[in-house]
Structure 1
Amino acid sequence: MRATELGAPHMIRTLATAAGALLAVAAAATTVPDTAHAAGTPTPGFHVADGRLLDAGGQDFVFRGVNLAHTWYPGRTDRALADLKALGANSARVVLSTGDRWAKNDAADIADVVTRCKANKLVCVLEAHDTTGYGEQSGAVSLGKAVDYWLEVAGAVKGQEKYVIINLGNEPHGNTGHGAWTEDTKNAVTRLRAAGFHHTLMADAPDWGQDWSHTMRDNAPAVLAADPERNTVFSVHMYGVYDTAAEVQSYLNSFVTRKIPLVVGEFGNDHSDGNPDEDAVMATARQLDLGYLGWSWSGNGGGVEYLDLATDFDASRLTPWGQRLFNGTDGIRQTSREAGVYGGAGGGDTQAPTAPGTPTASDVTATGARLTWAAATDDTGVTGYDLVRVDGPAETTVTTTTGTSATLTGLTPATAHTFAVYARDAAGNRSPRSASTTVTTPAGPSTGSCTVTYRLQDWGTGFNADVTVRNTGTRPVQGWRLDFAFPGGQTVTSAWNAKVRQEGRQVHATHEPWTENIPAGGSVGFGLSASSTGGNGVPAAFTLNGAACTSS
């Protein structure tokens, strides 16, 4: 992912040029012989053999991970790594800055990131992001500058070859100048080897990572041959160029058939330059036993917020893209295996945790409930729980948590909902399913049985809103959630007498314990403060527990 997609100006490939580049793989493509284990070649950690990436113990390793924007959100990294592990990931690709475009991540910071990756039993891919779109993106630096950075922080990564992979530089050329990619990458690899780096090195493709020109596809053998340790893997970023299954399969197969190691270092479920076929990426990666790392955990901006896997770094609020990547067919939870260095990948812990306790429900409203269960036990420790909705023989993951409770919203009123829980351990073993529990939500208010009064106190750059919710129906409302949308440019800063959460323009207000009940004919009130960058106004519509209200 280009760094522009966290807020800076956006670069888009020329569609006509890219379309012309999507040709069938040349039949004459070269195969590189495996010489990674030549006498005297150091292989202290991850290493390539016969076109496959192996860990320090010689076990096959397949990435099932996520990109994490550490350099822009360093305070979020610790929690994020734990959440990724709980969701089943075996790796994280961590964004770093050389200091040329953003604040530098120095050796001490990198050492801390590596320690946290290891504590969560995640393979750590460290990438220098300042090279993104070199030749097109203002301020981007060369791979040579990235190598200078790796030499500067060498003390933080040398000795960590069992746990760390060095991604030379993110998307090191834009759509122009990609012809320089081959020599630039060769030089970067040979300089690091000469400096005593024995890590597996990862080389990103040019063309903003998408390699529509097939520069990396056609020249990867020469780059691999230039590595004296033959320990380089290649990374393609699959966005709008790869919008059909045929294109995905053709590109990935071109590496596998030549025994050249490849990983899908980034991909998404949508993009400004076209709609990538994420289903084909995940299915083909599984079929070919190739790794992938989805972009990205959270924090995207500049119009591509849809690429967030979690809303506001909250693992309990996975987006549709997050649900697809973690819980869908060929997804992380279904296909991830922990690295052998941590005891996974078929070696070490194979004992599943015990089943968690039966969930019990509290705070049941027409559209929500809180579920709590007794913890499971495991020899090596439980790392997370999967709460699932049960419908006959089918089940759907609702949320994942590291704790033993979850608060559900968006339930259908006057409906029986059945839930159960699984536990997982650090090696990816999953427990038997807990006994299930059924939660029957009460009826919510009928359409037209509520009225909302929204009063503004506006001072230009901000405002207060006093909100009154009146129950005009004939039965009380036990527990409520009021949904509405701001006109635009408003951000909630505080609230009272209700819990208020914002997602873009959408605002969700839920009761406090002392405002939980709205008797028939009665009302409750709450307030909020917000900043404003545009004209304010009364929201156009309100819904109470899913039922439309009138405005007064």
Structure 2
Amino acid sequence: MKTRLSVAAATLLALLASIVIFVQPAHAAVGLRISGGRLVEANGTPFIMRGVNHAHTWFTNETSSFANIKSLGANAVRVVLSNGVRWTRNDANDVRNVISLCKANRLICVLEVHDTTGYGEEGAAATLASAADYWISLASVLRGEENYVIINIGNEPFGNSGYQNWTSHTTSAVQRLRDAGFEHTIMVDAPNWGQDWTFTMRDNAQSVWNADPARNLVFSIHMYGVFDTAAEISDYLGRFRTAGLPIVVGEFGHNHSDGDPDEDAILSYTQQNGIGWLGWSWSGNGGGVEYLDLVNNFNVNSLTTWGQRLFNGTNGIRQTAREATIFSGTTPPPTTAPPTTAPPTTPPPTTPPPTTAPPTAPPPTTVPPTTPPPAGACSATYSVIGQWPGGFQGEVRVTAGGSALRGWRVTWTFSNGQTVSQAWNATITSSGSSVTATNVSYNGNLGSGQSTTFGFIGSWNGTNSVPPVACTAL
């Protein structure tokens, strides 16, 4: 009898288990996520960040910056926020507005708490635990935005003291967010003012990754003076690639008080290996590092030398950014009115220096040249980079032939009533459906085989076919 009851009980338990397994739904992909060591969208399309940082918390009235950043070709923006420990707290309404501005301008939004900067060495810094508290308090704002928002728990969460606690503090913060129900991709910054010269993040990344039940983390390294050679850059990023762990360059500059980072090597290696990056920073730097501003005084028409390099240079935003597919076929809503809070009179400086030292996104629609360009000539290809009802972003790549160019002119004729409303990196004029684009002062000289790009915003209705283009050497 005991044996029969045991068998019956076991049979019943097995049946119940099978029912539970049968009715339990499979866990569907929610928003941005990590797959195969890469950041991908919910539909599986790889997303490679090509954007900038914006110091929103100190300049909350500069809301036009989101549209301006987008107009220069970026596909993402990392937004500086405060949880109220060191600076004025960005409340739920403000964060909701920031997310709205990102979505309106078709930018993936990376939100970060800056108050944690340099904890352990900077006495006023906040803990990662307090940053986690902040994100949890914003749960109602953040839930449902997994396709658009990445949560960067805390900026540079340790200085050059106490960084040995980075692994445990980071793991705890990640697990608290997961326990609170967050399914977003979470970004975690390195210690040592973000530059990880002790290799604490590099050597413990796997254990932090394993501790995330969602396996939806991306690691972020900040590259300033510690990364002043191509060998250091490729070695650090390459170790993450070899380990199959996702990595982005969350901040970097062309110069810094702790040394001269090799920005060309950063841009080259990340492009070759499908690694995302976010340059520091749009505008408003103080404390002696004003040279890190990408534009002067938040003026989109006044690029600095660093801004020209990052947006328009080789492997820069213009050449490499691809808009997230989540925005395809959607109409951007109107920009929300900016909040009334005034910025501080003196913005805080950027991060202090340390004391010591793939699959790619689908290609745009392109019409290739029919024949190779002869010596002294040029060729051009026209691409639709992004499109939404009534509007689109176009890009044209100009390539020199067998001899150097001193200038170029590209022409095409729209066949479906399209018009150009805004352009960059070229002077564009239109006469009816005919369009003429000529080089500007800094991109007319091209060596043999070299290329440059220019872009524009246009309108369309009904059909947006790709026109053939012609290039003439000047």
TM-score (norm 1): 0.60
Q: Does the 8 Å contact 2:47/2:361 carry over to 1?
A: no
2:226 to 241, 246, 252: 241
What residue number does 2:110 align with?
125
Partner of 1:74: 60
Question: CA, structure 1 residues 172+346, in 2 after alignment: closer, same or farther (shift >3 Å)?
Answer: closer
1:130 is paired with a residue of what secondary structure? coil
Q: Which residue pairs with 2:357 in the alignment?
A: none
One-letter code aligned to 1:339: A
Which position in structure 1 is the counterpart of 2:91?
A: 106
**Are residue 400 (structure 1) and residue 421 (structure 2) matched?**
no
Is 1:299 the equivalent of 2:284? yes
Q: CA deviation at 1:404?
A: 7.7
| Per-residue deviation, residues 177-201 of structure 1 (Å, max 9, x unmatched) | 1100000000001000000000000
Task: State the distance in 2 between where 1:116 and 1:430 align.
Answer: 30
- For residue 51 of structure 2, give the secondary structure of its aligned residue in structure 1: strand
Alignment of 1:190-209 (within 5 A): 190-209=175-194
Aligned partners of 1:210, 1:86: CA distance in 2, in Å? Answer: 30
The aligned amino acid for 2:121 is E
CA distance in 1, matches of 2:260, 2:364: 40
**Distance 1:382-1:134 versus aligned 2 partners, 3 A rule:** same
Displacement, 1:280? 0.4
Number of the residue aligned with 1:187: 172
- Of all paired residues, the percent bearing the same amino acid is 51
1:474-515 per-position Cα deviation (integer Å, ceiling 9, x unaligned): xxxxxxxxxxxxxxxxxxxxxxxxxxxxxxxxxxxxxxxxxx
Alignment counterpart, residue 86 of structure 1, candidates 56, 62, 71: 71
Whole-Å separation in 1 of the counterparts to 2:105 and 2:78: 14
Written as runs of structure 1 = structure 2, the 5 A alignment for 1:509-520 is none
Q: What CA distance in whole angstroms lies between the structure 1 residues aligned with 2:322 and 2:309?
A: 18
1:162 Cα deviation from its structure 2 partner: 0.4
2:456 to 420, 423, 433: 423
Q: Which amino acid aligns with 1:265?
A: G
**8 Å contact kept, 2:46–2:361:** no
| Structure richer in strand, relative to its length | 1
Shift of 1:81: 1.1
Residue 504 of structure 1 aligns with which residue? none
1:284 counterpart SS class? helix
Name the counterpart of 1:24: none
| Aligned-pair CA distance for 1:423 | 2.1
Q: Which has the larger radius of gyration?
A: 1
Aligned-pair CA distance for 1:392: 3.4
Go from structure 1 to structure 2 and tell me whether the alpha carbon gap of 1:272 and 1:222 turns closer, same or farther (over 3 Å shift): same
2:125: which partner in 1? Answer: 140
Equivalent of residue 308 in structure 1, options 271, 293, 296: 293
Distance 2:253 2:469 in 1: 31
Q: Once the 2 structures are TM-superposed, how far is the Cα of residue 303 of structure 1 from its aligned partner?
A: 0.6
Which residue of structure 2 aligns with residue 152 of structure 1?
137
Counterpart residue number, 1:474: none
CA contact (8 A) 1:86 1:383 kept: no
- Displacement of 1:342 in angstroms is 1.6
Matched, 1:54 2:40: yes
Is residue 254–residue 261 contact of structure 2 (8 Å, CA) maintained in 1?
A: yes
**Is 1:45 paired with 2:78?**
no
Say whether the 8 Å CA contact 2:406–2:473 is kept in structure 1: no
Cα gap change, 1:350/1:433 in structure 2, threshold over 3 Å: closer, same or farther? closer
Distance 1:94 1:404, change over 3 A: farther
Change (3 A) 1:111 1:351: farther
Retained in 2: the 8 A contact 1:385–1:402? no
In the alignment, the residues of structure 2 paired with residue 117 and residue 166 of structure 1 have an alpha-carbon distance, to the nearest angstrom, of: 14
**1:347–1:276: structure 2 CA closer, same or farther, 3 Å change rule?**
closer
Partner Cα separation in structure 2 for residue 98 and residue 54 of structure 1: 28
Q: Counterpart of 2:350?
A: none
What corresponds to 1:336 in structure 2? 321
Structure with bigger RCO (C-alpha 8 Å, 6+ apart): 2
- 1:320 and 2:344 correspond: no
CA distance, structure 1, for counterparts of residue 466 and residue 218 of structure 2: 31
* Aligned-partner Cα distance in 2 for 1:298–1:162: 27
For residue 56 of structure 2, give the secondary structure of its aligned residue in structure 1. coil
Q: Normalized against structure 2, the TM-score is what? A: 0.70
Q: Which amino acid aligns with 1:423?
A: F
Aligned to 1:266: 251
Map 1:487-498 onto structure 2 (within 5 A): none
Residue 379 of structure 2 corresponds to none
Separation in 2 of the partners of 1:112 and 1:402? 33
Give the Cα–Cα distance (whole angstroms) in 2 for the partners of residues 127 and 240 of structure 1.
22
Distance 1:272 1:57, change over 3 A: same
Counterpart Cα distance in 2 of 1:351 and 1:249: 31
Q: Is the 8 A contact 1:385 1:400 kept in 2?
A: no
Q: Gaps spanning 5+ residues in structure 2: where?
A: 1-23, 330-359, 368-386, 410-422, 430-439, 443-452, 460-464
Residue aligning to 1:251: 236
> What is the rounded CA distance, in whole Å, between the counterparts of 2:192 and 2:233 in structure 1?
16
Equivalent pairs counted in the alignment come to 363
Measure, in 2, the Cα distance between the counterparts of 1:42 and 1:385.
Answer: 35
- How far did residue 425 of structure 1 move? 6.1
Q: Could you tell me how far 1:403 is from its partner in structure 2?
A: 11
1:381 aligns with 2:391: yes
